[in-house]
Amino acid sequence: MINHYRLRPLLGLAFISLFFWGLYLHLDRAKTGKRGPDPVEQEAARLMLEAEKFLLSCQEARGLSADSNQFDINRTGLIGLENSPLTTTLGNLSAKRTTTNPNLAALLVYLLRQAGVRPGDRVAVGASGSFPALIVASYCAARALKLELLAIISVGASQWGANHPEFSWLDMEECLRQHGFNQHRLLALAWGGEDDSGREYPEEIRARLSVLAVRLGLEFLPTGRLEDRVREHLRLLEKAAGGGQLKAFVNIGGSAVNLGQDSSILELRPGLTRVRKIPPASRRGLIQEMALKGIPVIHLLNIRRLAEIYRLPWDPQPLPLPGPISFGRRGALGKGEQVMIFAAYILACLLWLGLEGLIQRRAGQAGSQPGS
């Protein structure tokens, strides 16, 4: 015979568990599901797709056949060589191809909005040539959002980045300007490589890049100690901002002047991030300096993790068309929210067990009364 007094508490606990599990899934899905089309995000993605077509045609116009580049399977004009005299570090080909997805520009629009950026605001970009597609994405996102973008870019690049000696980032920059992508302000250049000196590059490559820089009205920043280089980058960005507040800083790639030289940078999650540790000035990069000033930081490195968090396809072939993106991160509920739900679940279970215990004690007392 079923003991209802023992069965009822278990049924109640099962119901509470199902309720809170359903609540968790609902809230998590609400943060990670696809939305309807956002016109600004779609415009940014459309611009990036357009930019890729321009870069590919520009590459071919310079006698560099896209068909000869076996690594650029989606014909974007944004994938470089496995090795070249302009290569500074190792790279990941799949990560580079993942960033050519036009919806990266849409994601940047989303991240900038999450950072509180509004049309007309000034944002800073510090980038290396390792991820040219992300630089293009930042240009397109800023144009779609009507932002004033201030950039300092290193011409050095890791494998499969903008490392082609005849199609470096400066060549890409020139092509983009020729096709009307000139709303941003590229303030200065860094050589990249060891201490941002570019001393590893052959002299003929340095000479060619210098000529290109002059043609674009740009100068290379001097090398020096990390602290001095960071200070100079900050000075240029703040001067260009004209006394106005920068509303966000976007780091692209792994330049030491942006990352700094403290191991804590390895703990920084990609996307809109929170800089929890500020190292001594001698080891700080622009990321930490911006965080000290209260400026939101968008960190675009560790592309595999970025793709997982924001549900981007990994190394897609063909590239996705511009469209709605999964704007929330995987496991979108924060730790604080998860703790609150778990605490509410435990409290509900305790209240239910307490109520059941009270009911059973009263029932037992009533059953022990004389004449009952």
Q: What is the pLDDT of residues 250-264, one digit of tens each?
A: 999 999 999 999 999
Range of the domain at 43: 35-309
Question: Does some domain include residue 185?
Answer: yes
Task: Give me the number of domains the chain comprises.
Answer: 1
Question: Does some domain include residue 281?
Answer: yes
User: Picking from 149-158, 243-252, 344-353, which range would have the lowest pLDDT averaged per residue?
Assistant: 344-353
Question: Does some domain include residue 155?
Answer: yes
Which residue do the tokens 């494998």 mark?
A: 159
Question: Does some domain include residue 7?
Answer: no
Question: Does some domain include residue 282?
Answer: yes
What is the overall mean pLDDT for the chain?
89
| Contact assessment for residue 189 and residue 218, using Cβ atoms and an 8 Å cutoff | yes
Question: Does some domain include residue 93?
Answer: yes
Q: Are strands 167-168 and 163-164 parallel, antiparallel or unpaired?
A: antiparallel
Question: Does some domain include residue 353?
Answer: no
Cis peptide before 102 (omega within 30 of 0): no
Judge whether residue 362 has pLDDT over 80: no
User: Picking from 196-200, 294-298, 310-314, which range would have the lowest pLDDT averaged per residue?
Assistant: 196-200
Judge whether residue 66 has pLDDT over 80: no
Question: Does some domain include residue 366?
Answer: no
Chain segment 146-193, per-residue pLDDT in tens: 999 999 999 999 999 999 999 999 999 999 999 999 999 999 999 998
Most distant CA atoms of the chain, gap in Å:
109
| Contact assessment for residue 156 and residue 88, using Cβ atoms and an 8 Å cutoff | yes
Amino acid 193: pLDDT: 86
C-alpha count within 13 angstroms, C-beta hemisphere, residue 290: 30
